Amino acid sequence: MTTGQQRPAPPPTDADAERLPTVAEQMADQLGGWRGLVESSIPVVVFVLANIVGELRPAVIASVGVAVLIAVVRLAQRRPIRHAVNGLFGIAIGAAIAWRTGNERDFYLPGILYGIGYGLALLLSAVIRQPLVGWIWSVLVAKGRSEWRDDPKLVRTFTQLTVLWGVVWLAKVGVQATLYLAHQDTALGVARLALGYPPYALLLLITVWVVRRVTREPGVTPLPGAGA
């Protein structure tokens, strides 16, 4: 028998194939990774800066052009374009409204209205005991499984998390709405950037951490995606 010969690696097991994503992997998927974070912010940054140094319409053209370029580059590189398309859609609607009205603050109006609707939907789902955070977990993390509905503790946990998401969402959109009504256009652009992904990332981290901690408690139903 030859010494020093390396043995072939064992074939992957079912456990390896079904390895649950880590917290970092789950957050990276939802946020699009660092590249997704940067790319989704670039069009807004371009609009804010271009509008400060120039006129509204060149700023609109520049922001939409950058958003389209990002989507095209991702497509050419055969990378996922979901986040780029979502960003392009949001930028295009705001740009169209601002272009039509001639008011730069209207660029941010769709995001404000969307935030209000999303925050209210979150709170309403918690009130009727159908917490959106739980259902989103089922779709995005647990591959469509919803065992948490049969566990009162998990229902309560997801309800509390949904309330947290709703309150934070309405708080950050409330700041933007206040600046919008006060015609503080530059401050509104800065707030859009500062209150965009940072609170979202923090809420994701809190959600994954809380769900994993609760599912480790005795008698609680194990959840797909909540492993250590």
Number of Cβ within a 10 Å radius of residue 207 = 23
- Unique residue bearing structure tokens 């055969």: 78
The first and second tokens of residue 225, run together, are 């995606």
Number of Cβ within a 10 Å radius of residue 218 = 4
The first and second tokens of residue 14, run together, are 């079912």
Looking at residue 19, its pLDDT comes to: 47
- Unique residue bearing structure tokens 């509204």: 56
**% of the chain at pLDDT higher than 70:** 76
pLDDT over 90 at 123, yes or no: yes
User: pLDDT band at residue 156, thresholds of 50, 70 and 90?
Assistant: very high
Looking at residue 173, its pLDDT comes to: 95
In a 3-state reduction of DSSP, which class is residue 34? helix
* Higher-confidence position of 19 and 91: 91
pTM above 0.75, yes or no: no
- Give me the mean pLDDT over the 101-124 stretch: 92
Question: What gap in Å lies between CA 120 and CA 103, rounded to an integer?
Answer: 27
Cβ proximity of 221 and 154 under 8 Å = yes
Per-residue pLDDT reduced to its tens digit, 160-212: 999 999 999 999 999 999 999 999 988 898 888 888 878 888 998 999 899 88
User: Which residues have C-beta within 8 Å of that of residue 133, sequence separation ≥ 6?
Assistant: 122, 158, 161, 162, 165, 207
Helix axes 109-127, 132-140, angle to 10 degrees: 100
The single-letter DSSP state of residue 228 is -
Looking at residue 198, its pLDDT comes to: 84
User: pLDDT band at residue 2, thresholds of 50, 70 and 90?
Assistant: very low
Q: Any alpha helices (H) in the chain, and if so which ranges?
A: 14-17, 23-31, 33-53, 56-76, 82-101, 109-127, 132-140, 152-181, 185-194, 197-215
